[in-house]
A and B are shown apart, each in its own frame.
Chain A
Amino acid sequence: MHGVQKIVKGPAANRFRNEDLPGYLFLAPWIAGFLLFTLGPTLASLYLSFTKFDLLSAPSFIGLDNYRFMFTSDQRFGNALRVTFIYLMFEVPLKLAFALAVAMMMDKGIRGGDVYRALFYIPSLLGGSVAIAVLWRQLFQGDGIINRALFALFGVQGPSWISNPETSIYTLVILAVWQFGSPMIIFLAGLRQISPELYEAASIDGASKSKQVWRITLPLLAPVIFFNIVLQVIEGFKAFTPAFIISGGTGGPVDSTLFYTLYLYQEAFAHFRMGYASALAWVLLVIIAVFTSISFFTSKYWVFYEDER
Chain B
Amino acid sequence: MNAEALHPSRQAGAQKSAYGAVLRHALLIGASIIMLYPLLWMLASSFKPDSLIFSDMSLIPPSLNPRNYIEGWNALEVSFSRFYWNSFVIAVLAVIGNVMSCSLAAYAFARLNFRGRKLFFALMMATLMLPYHVTLIPQYVLFLNIGWVDTFLPLVVPKFMAGDAFAIFLMVQFFRSLPRELDEAARIDGCGPWRIYWMIVLPLSKPVLATAAILTFLWTWNDFFGPLIYLNDISHYTVPLALRAFVDTTGLSAWGQLFAMSSLALAPIFLFFLFFQRLIINGIAMSGLKG
**Identity of the chain A residue whose Cβ is nearest the Cβ of B104 in the assembled complex:** A26
Cβ-defined contact, A42 with B57, below 8 A:
no
CA distance A79 to B199 in the complex (A): 56
How many residues on the B side are at the interface (Cβ–Cβ under 8 A)? 94
Which among A68-76, A210-218, A230-238, A250-258 touches the partner chain? A230-238
Interface assignment of A105: CB less than 8 Å from any CB of chain B: yes
Partner of B28, one of A24, A105, A125: A105
Q: Which residues does chain A contribute within 8 Å of B229, judged by CB atoms?
A: 269
B255 touches A138 (CB 8 A): yes
Quick one: which of A221-278 are within 8 Å of B by CB? 227-228, 231, 234-235, 237-238, 240-241, 244-245, 248, 261, 264-265, 268-269, 274, 277-278
A186-B285 in contact (CB<8A): yes
**A26 pairs with B39, CB closer than 8 A:** no
In the bound assembly, the distance between CA atoms of A14 and B31 in angstroms comes to 54
List chain B residues, Cβ under 8 A from A188.
Answer: 285
Instruction: Say yes or no: is A189 at the interface (Cβ < 8 Å to chain B).
Output: yes
Are B263's CB and A131's CB within 8 A? yes
A-side contacts of B24, CB under 8 Å: 105-106, 110
Residues of A within 8 A of B255 (CB): 138
Query: Is B112 touching A125 in the complex (CB atoms < 8 A)?
Result: no
Residues of A within 8 A of B241 (CB): 130
Residues 78-114 of B, flagged 1 when their CB comes within 8 A of A and 0 if not, give 0000000000000000000000010011011100111
Report whether B35 and A120 are in contact in the complex, using a CB–CB cutoff of 8 Å. yes
Q: Is A26 in contact with B112, judged by CB distance below 8 angstroms? A: yes
Which one, A32, A116, A148, A237, contacts B131 given CB within 8 A?
Answer: A237
Q: Is the CB of A119 within 8 A of B131?
A: no
Does B212 interact with chain A (Cβ within 8 Å)? no
Which residues of B approach A to under 8 Å, CB–CB? 21, 24-25, 27-28, 31-32, 35-36, 38-39, 41-42, 54-55, 57, 101, 104-105, 107-109, 112-115, 117, 120, 123-124, 127, 129-142, 144, 158, 160-163, 168, 180-181, 184, 187, 192-194, 197, 218, 222, 224-225, 228-229, 240-241, 243-244, 247-248, 252, 255, 258-259, 261-263, 265-266, 269-270, 273, 277, 280-281, 284-286, 288-291
Query: How many A-B Cβ pairs are below 8 Å?
Result: 269
Complex Cα gap A85–B224 (Å): 23
Taking the complex as formed, is A9 at the interface, i.e. its CB lies under 8 A from any CB of chain B? no
In the bound assembly, the distance between CA atoms of A157 and B277 in angstroms comes to 40
Nearest residue (CB) in A for B42 is A135
A168 interface hit (Cβ, 8 Å): no
Residues of A within 8 A of B (CB): 11, 14-24, 26-34, 36-38, 40-42, 44-45, 48, 55, 102, 105-106, 110-112, 116-126, 128-132, 134-139, 143-145, 148-149, 152, 178, 182-183, 185-186, 188-189, 227-228, 231, 234-235, 237-238, 240-241, 244-245, 248, 261, 264-265, 268-269, 274, 277-278, 280-282, 284-285, 288-289, 292
- How distant is the Cα of A149 from the Cα of B38 in the complex, in angstroms? 12
Is the Cβ of B39 less than 8 Å from the Cβ of A284? Answer: no
Cα distance, A34 to B244, chains bound together (Å)? 32
